[in-house]
């Protein structure tokens, strides 16, 4: 299969590119600053926030292969901290990378798949796209946007042989934690005295979380599945349970549970 993955420099993207290449697929991957190149992967320099670069990246694959069988939207970033201290520019940046980055690629990928009457679209969301996470509100908002967009897209493409799968990872041990931009400073600590404790808990869960190769293995199965799932939560039992609990308990009760978990 011909597979295009966005953001393959590290973490999920790198693990998926490595696994899917080993599976025998032809993998193209976008990057901004690739350092370690995987054998067998075709790298395409592309910033997901640049309209022209995204169009050129998709065109490069179509010109070379004539089709895209699987598109995996993975490129993303995180901005943390109390929403009160998140700048308007932070909000724009978070949505531009995580949500609009996906929209830009799909603007060119969807017509190609619809024309060929086949294809799989796999978009990486997050547990944070199913519940608003404290001190990660901008990130959660960007992932909620992915959920809604893909739910609509799935229905629109239903008659064209194109599937849409949304993947919701829980905590994973990647460099995402180290690269997250977080609000800091004495004014933040004074206004939100529980922020530092909560952030430490968040980072601990991420650093001790599952490994990217585990997610890559799940994606490997979706790629060859005849009936890809609408969505799949890839997380610890406790995090999967939390999604179920949200659906059955009153919102106020669930908010109380999250406040305890995040040490608020």
> Which ranges of the chain does DSSP label H, i.e. alpha helix?
11-22, 51-65, 88-98, 100-116, 137-156, 176-179, 186-191, 195-207, 212-224, 237-248, 251-261
Q: Judging by DSSP bridges, how do beta strands 162-169 and 79-80 pair with one another?
A: unpaired
117 φ, ψ (degrees, to nearest 5):
60, 35
Q: Is 43 a catalytic residue?
A: no
CB 10 within 8 A of CB 23: no
Catalytic residue among 28, 43, 135, 139: 139
Residue 38 is classified by DSSP as P
Measured CA to CA, the distance from residue 61 to residue 105 in angstroms comes to 12
**Which residues are CB-contacts of 157 (< 8 A; sequence separation ≥ 6)?**
110, 113, 114, 121, 163, 164
Strand partners, 30: 44
Instruction: Classify burial at 242, counting beta carbons within 10 Å of its beta carbon; exposed 0-12, middle 13-18, buried 19 or more.
Output: buried
**Which residues does the annotation mark as catalytic?**
139
């Amino acid at each position: 299969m011909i597979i295009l993955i966005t953001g393959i420099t590290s973490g999920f993207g790198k693990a998926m590119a490595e696994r899917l290449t080993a599976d025998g697929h032809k993998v193209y991957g976008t990057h901004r600053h690739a350092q370690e190149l995987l054998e067998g992967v075709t790298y395409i320099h592309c910033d997901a926030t640049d309209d022209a670069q995204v169009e050129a990246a998709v065109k490069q694959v179509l010109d070379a292969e004539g089709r895209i069988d699987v598109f995996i939207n993975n490129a993303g970033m995180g901005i943390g901290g109390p929403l009160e201290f998140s700048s308007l520019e932070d909000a724009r940046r978070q949505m531009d990378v995580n949500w609009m980055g996906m929209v830009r690629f799909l603007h060119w990928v969807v017509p190609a798949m619809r024309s060929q009457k086949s294809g799989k679209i796999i978009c990486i969301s997050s547990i944070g796209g199913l519940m608003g996470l404290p001190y990660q509100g901008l990130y959660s908002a960007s992932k909620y946007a992915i959920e809604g967009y893909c739910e609509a897209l799935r229905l629109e493409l239903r008659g064209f042989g194109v599937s849409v799968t949304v993947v919701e990872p829980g905590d994973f041990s990647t460099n995402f934690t180290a690269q997250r931009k977080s609000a800091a400073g004495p004014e933040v600590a004074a206004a939100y005295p529980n922020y530092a404790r909560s952030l430490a808990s968040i980072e601990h869960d991420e650093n001790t979380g599952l490994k990217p190769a585990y997610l890559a293995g799940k994606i490997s199965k979706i790629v060859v599945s005849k009936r890809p799932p609408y969505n799949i939560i890839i997380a610890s039992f406790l995090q999967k349970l939390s999604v179920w609990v949200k659906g059955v308990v009153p919102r106020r009760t669930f908010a109380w549970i999250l406040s305890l978990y995040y040490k608020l």
